[in-house]
């Protein structure tokens, strides 16, 4: 199961930018690294004992990549051995994350490695197109760990039909879904109303609501059978 560094939407600063992680042995996977994330990582000593950092990036909005360059340079100059490359970034090329890192002085092959997906013995990552905003390309993530498959929506306006079916059928071990309390035509985030329409009551224990806006009603979601992301550092 994933834990969270922050659980909030871009403008819900109290909860911090939404970012999840999974830590085992001397490795960590971090999903997105928004503007407030690096500070939380360092202040909580989350990287203590970590020798491999794997960062999955879903899209280039600031609340998902705003402090990624800080993390890359910190991992090279200040964490562990000086000038040792221990971080790998995973993201499809059309997110243009590599360009953002270059602008911030992070050099691929020196400060970090870059891959479009990952297939290792202990975990794998694949990306699926998502519907979020017209201006940039966004992705959801399939994460494979411990012989289980997890779904991480990142920012979505709607859930694709296959994801709804796989959640309801129990194919995913767990699903982490962008959920907001605001509900209006043209919303680029998934409203709680839509989530309730998508997911059967008997399958809601397999879903964790995340990327929460200030209008999200945590108590109602829990009463309705969903989990709600909490910061665990």
pLDDT in tens, 127-136: 999 999 999 9
Segment 133-147 mean pLDDT = 96
Can you give the pLDDT at residue 131?
95
> Which class is 3-228 in CATH?
alpha beta
In this prediction, residue 182 has a pLDDT band, given cuts at 50, 70 and 90, of very high
Cβ 89 vs Cβ 97: under 8 Å = yes
Burial of 29 (0-12, 13-18, 19+ CB in 10 A): buried
pLDDT digits (tens, 9 = 90+) for 192-226: 999 999 999 999 999 999 999 999 999 999 999 99
**Average of per-residue pLDDT across 182-191:** 96
Note the pLDDT of residue 8: 98
Average pLDDT, the chain: 97
pLDDT for 115 equals: 97
Residue 27: predicted pLDDT = 97
The per-residue pLDDT for 65 is 98
Q: Other CB atoms closer than 10 Å to residue 232's CB: what's the count?
A: 13
- Work out the burial of residue 144: count CB atoms within 10 Å of its CB; fewer than 13 is exposed, 13-18 middle, 19 or more buried: middle
Confidence of residue 9 (pLDDT cuts 50, 70, 90): very high
Phi first, then psi: give them for residue 121, nearest 5 degrees: -65, -35
Local confidence band at 178 (pLDDT 50, 70, 90 cut-offs): very high
In this structure, are strands 52-56 and 123-129 parallel, antiparallel, or unpaired? Answer: unpaired
- Give residue 104's pLDDT band: very low, low, confident or very high (50, 70, 90): very high
Region 87-109: mean pLDDT is: 97
Angle at 208 between CA 35 and CA 10, to 5 degrees: 25
The distance between the two most distant Cα atoms of the chain, rounded to a whole number of Å, is: 51
pLDDT reported for residue 139: 98
The arithmetic mean of pLDDT across residues 56-75, rounded, is: 98
Q: Residues 21-50: pLDDT tens digits?
A: 999 999 999 999 999 999 999 999 999 999
pLDDT the model gives residue 98: 96
User: What pTM was estimated for this model as a whole?
Assistant: 0.97
- Per-residue pLDDT band at 113 (split at 50, 70, 90): very high
Task: Characterize the bridge pairing of strands 207-210 and 174-178.
Answer: parallel
**Exposure letters 170-202 (e unless 16+ CB within 10 A, then b):** eebbbbbbbbbbeeeeeeebbbbebbbebbeee
Q: 112: pLDDT confidence band, cut at 50, 70 and 90? A: very high
Q: Which residues contact residue 170 at a Cβ distance below 8 angstroms, ignoring those fewer than 6 apart? A: 203, 206
Q: Are strands 52-56 and 87-90 parallel, antiparallel or unpaired?
A: parallel
Angstrom distance (rounded) from CA 165 to CA 143: 17
In the chain, % of residues over pLDDT 90: 99
CA 100 to CA 106: how far, in whole Å?
Answer: 9
From CA 210, how far away is CA 157, in angstroms rounded? Answer: 14
pLDDT score, position 108: 97
List the one residue out of 166, 158, 154, 155 whose CA is nearest residue 125. Answer: 154
């Amino acid at each position: 199961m994933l834990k969270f560094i922050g659980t909030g939407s871009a403008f819900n600063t109290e909860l911090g930018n939404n970012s999840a992680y999974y830590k085992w042995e001397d490795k960590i996977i971090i999903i997105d690294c928004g503007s407030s994330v690096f500070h939380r990582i360092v202040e909580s000593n989350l990287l203590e004992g970590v020798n491999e950092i794997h960062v999955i990036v879903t899209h280039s909005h600031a609340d998902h990549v705003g402090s990624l360059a800080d993390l890359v340079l910190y991992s090279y100059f200040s964490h562990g051995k000086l000038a040792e490359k221990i971080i790998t970034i995973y993201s499809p090329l059309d997110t243009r994350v590599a360009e953002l890192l270059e602008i911030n002085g992070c050099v691929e092959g020196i400060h970090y490695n870059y891959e479009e997906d990952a297939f290792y013995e202990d975990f794998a990552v694949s990306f699926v197109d998502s519907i979020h905003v017209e201006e940039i390309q966004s992705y959801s993530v399939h994460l494979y760990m411990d012989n289980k498959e997890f779904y991480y929506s990142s920012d979505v306006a709607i859930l694709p039909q296959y994801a709804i079916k796989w959640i309801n059928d129990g194919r995913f071990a767990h699903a982490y879904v962008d959920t907001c309390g605001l509900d209006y035509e043209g919303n680029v985030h998934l409203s709680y109303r839509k989530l309730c329409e998508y997911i059967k009551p008997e399958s809601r224990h397999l879903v964790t609501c995340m990327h929460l806006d200030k209008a999200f009603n945590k108590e109602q979601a829990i009463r309705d059978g969903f989990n709600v992301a909490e910061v665990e550092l």
